[in-house]
């Protein structure tokens, strides 16, 4: 006869806890959908980060680089103009005796050198970094550079606007050999210029009056 302990350990009926024999496909699909949605949100977020870096950061850096390049170019132009001032001082010293009244007969027939130097300073220096100046007879010839070719017409107009100037001849240096490209290239880059200003002689001044 079985004892009470063995009877207590005997299992009556089926398993105490049910065994899971099937997979809930619905829950599995929901989990996959959730992961896909999270990946989609992550991709969109990374796209926004990339767009911000390109248009918000890279663009600002490019603008900063452009501003720095413009500043450097301006400094170069200022340095060139300062050198031009040195040339002006040398020329002024060379022709200083024309202002003391002691002129020979030949010099009296020439344009006033002081007016020619004033024209150089007021009409030409503001736009041109002058490297050399030569004054002979009624002519003032100079070589220099202007910031870009598009300012060339303005330079010529300013020189011709001087009431003591008779007429002006000027030319730009050639920058490229291909036909049709010279003006385009010279218009946007610093370019050399040669100019000769012809001034009124005393007889012509008298005729004008």
pLDDT of residue 40: 73
Domain presence at residue 168: yes
Question: Above 60 in pLDDT, residue 12?
Answer: no
Assigned domain for 36 exists? no
pLDDT cut 70: percent of the chain above it: 45
Residue 191 has pLDDT above 60, yes or no: yes
Q: Do the domain assignments include residue 55?
A: no
**Residue 52 in domain:** no
Output the pLDDT for position 126: 86
Tokens of 39: 């990946």
Q: 173 falls in which pLDDT band (50, 70, 90)? A: confident
What would the pLDDT profile of 26-79 be if each residue is shown by its tens digit? 555 656 667 766 777 777 777 776 666 666 666 666 766 666 666 566 566 656
Query: Can you give the residue range of the structural domain that contains 92?
Result: 82-96+108-208
Q: Is residue 130 assigned to a domain?
A: yes
Which pLDDT does position 82 carry in this prediction?
55
Q: Are 194 and 145 in contact (CB under 8 A)?
A: no
Domain count, the chain: 1
Whole-number Å distance between alpha carbons of 31 and 34: 5
For position 2, what pLDDT does the model report?
Answer: 52
What pLDDT sits at residue 18?
54
pLDDT tens sequence across 99-148: 555 556 676 778 888 888 889 888 998 888 888 888 888 999 999 999 88
Contact yes or no for 85/124 (Cβ under 8 A): no
Does residue 144 lie in a domain region? yes
CATH number at residue 191: 3.30.1360
What confidence category does residue 86 fall into, taking pLDDT thresholds of 50, 70 and 90? low
Cβ(129)–Cβ(77) below 8 Å: yes
Which pLDDT belongs to residue 161? 94
Q: Does some domain include residue 134?
A: yes
Please check whether residue 140 is in contact with residue 199, taking contact to mean a CB–CB distance below 8 angstroms: yes
- In this prediction, residue 149 carries a pLDDT of 85
What is the helix (H) or strand (E) element at residue 140, kind and residue range?
Answer: strand 139-146
**Does residue 162 fall inside a structural domain?**
yes
Facing residues of 199 across strands?
A: 165
């Amino acid at each position: 006869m079985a004892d009470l302990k063995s009877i207590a350990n005997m299992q009556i009926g089926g398993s105490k806890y049910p065994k899971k024999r099937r997979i809930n496909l619905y829950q599995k699909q929901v989990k996959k959908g959730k992961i896909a949605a999270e990946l989609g949100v992550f991709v969109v977020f990374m796209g926004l980060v990339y767009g911000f870096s390109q248009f918000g950061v890279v663009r600002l850096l490019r603008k900063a680089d452009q501003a720095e390049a413009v500043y450097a170019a301006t400094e170069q132009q200022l340095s060139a103009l300062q050198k031009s001032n040195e040339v002006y001082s040398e020329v002024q010293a060379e022709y200083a005796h024309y202002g003391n009244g002691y002129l020979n007969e030949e010099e009296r027939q020439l344009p006033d050198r002081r007016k020619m130097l004033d024209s150089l300073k007021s009409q030409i220096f503001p736009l041109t970094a002058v490297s050399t100046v030569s004054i002979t007879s009624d002519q003032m010839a100079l070589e220099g550079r202007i910031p870009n070719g598009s300012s060339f017409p303005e330079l010529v107009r300013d020189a011709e606007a001087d009431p003591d100037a008779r007429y002006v001849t000027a030319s730009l240096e050639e920058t490229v050999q291909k036909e049709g490209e010279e003006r385009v290239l010279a218009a946007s880059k610093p370019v050399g210029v040669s100019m000769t200003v012809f001034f009124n002689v005393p007889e012509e001044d008298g005729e004008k009056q």
